[in-house]
């Protein structure tokens, strides 16, 4: 079936609508960052850069690092942008943009988020790295897709009961990472646990400036949640959406975050730029053998 022009929108030059990319512009291994400024913090290490573009918050550069072809793309903030980035990247590899038909043989991308995040655990300090074994989706995005086969109802029910989850918020979902990427990127240097993904930065992550939140105890309930030894290590705004859409579309995904704030003890990194740079170097050193 042909995908209509209104559903898969292409620019006059044939590139996908928001990302401004054509199939030849991307590598099979793609690093996601939130901040547009972080793209060059990664590609400054590259041997060569073959392609650059930017539209809105979506800045993309493709090149090689120690001979490995990589794409770096900024997703901006939040799961709504991840919906755009994942669907348009998938279209670049798995839809023939000329015939507007899904290709008979699917390509799996390797997607690694290099992000920043707040730790929920006092023993996971600022400047450390956290790898998401799972994404805990608190955003509602994934319920718009047929995601049931990839969720973990037993953990989700335990989470809802432990936190006395308010049913008018989005129903929480737990989605796992790519175990092959987890094995590849793991080391004694990285903490591992469930990465919580929130729909906003303030109220949805329990930050109170002038507005009281629905459940002031929620962060504490999250940091004390334990399911057979699994705990929620950190909170940010993209991981569960990346994991969920990667499962649905057949891509491999892993989320790595530099911890720049510790919400449990109220500390903030003295040098967040160094924390991010360390995570970038860690990721690059691991990605070359992927």
Binding region for ligand R1P (CB under 6 A): 33-35, 77, 115-116, 201, 236-238
- Which residue, chain included where needed, has tokens 């209509």? 4
What are the DSSP E strand ranges found in 173-229? Answer: 173-176, 190-197, 226-227
Residue number with CB closer to ligand R1P (33 or 173) = 33
How far apart CA 256 and CA 244 sit, in angstroms, is 16
Residue number with CB closer to ligand R1P (102 or 208) = 208
Residue number with CB closer to ligand R1P (88 or 238) = 238
Residue number with CB closer to ligand R1P (15 or 119) = 119
In angstroms, what is the minimal distance from the CB of 67 to ligand R1P? 27
In angstroms, what is the minimal distance from the CB of 184 to ligand R1P? 21
Contact 85, 97 (CB under 8 A): no
Measure Cα distances from 183 to 27, 42, 88, 196, 229 in Å.
Answer: 21, 22, 27, 21, 19
Of 148, 163, 161, 167, the C-alpha closest to 196 is 163
In angstroms, what is the minimal distance from the CB of 77 to ligand R1P? 4
Closest residue to ligand R1P: CB criterion: 34
Residue number with CB closer to ligand R1P (91 or 141) = 141
In angstroms, what is the minimal distance from the CB of 98 to ligand R1P? 34
DSSP β-ladder status, 110-119 and 252-262: parallel
In angstroms, what is the minimal distance from the CB of 110 to ligand R1P? 18
Contact 58, 124 (CB under 8 A): no
């Amino acid at each position: 079936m042909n995908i209509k022009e209104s559903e898969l929108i292409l620019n006059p030059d044939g590139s996908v609508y928001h990302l401004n990319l054509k199939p030849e512009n991307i590598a099979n291994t793609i690093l996601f960052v939130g901040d547009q400024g972080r793209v060059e913090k990664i590609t400054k290490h590259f041997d060569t850069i073959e392609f650059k573009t930017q539209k809105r918050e979506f800045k993309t550069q493709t090149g090689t690092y120690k001979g490995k072809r990589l794409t770096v793309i900024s997703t901006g903030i939040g799961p709504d942008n991840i919906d755009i980035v994942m669907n348009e990247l998938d279209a670049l590899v798995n839809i023939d943009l000329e015939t507007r038909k899904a290709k008979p043989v699917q390509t799996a991308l390797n997607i690694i988020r290099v992000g920043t995040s707040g730790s929920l655990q006092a023993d996971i300090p600022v400047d450390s790295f956290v790898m998401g074994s799972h994404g805990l989706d608190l955003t509602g995005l994934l319920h718009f897709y047929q995601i049931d086969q990839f969720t973990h109802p037993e953990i989700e029910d335990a989470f809802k009961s432990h936190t006395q989850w308010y049913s008018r918020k989005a129903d929480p979902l737990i989605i796992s990472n790519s175990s092959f990427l987890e094995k590849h990127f793991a080391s004694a240097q990285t903490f591992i646990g469930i990465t919580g993904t929130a729909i906003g930065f303030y109220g949805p992550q329990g930050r109170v400036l002038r507005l009281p939140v629905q459940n002031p105890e929620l962060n504490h309930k999250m940091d004390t949640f334990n399911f057979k030894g699994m705990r929620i290590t950190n909170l940010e705004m993209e991981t569960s959406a990346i994991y969920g859409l990667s499962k649905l579309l057949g891509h491999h995904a892993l989320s790595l975050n530099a911890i720049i704030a510790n919400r449990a003890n109220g500390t903030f990194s003295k040098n967040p730029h160094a924390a991010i740079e360390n995570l970038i170097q860690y990721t690059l050193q691991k990605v070359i053998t992927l």
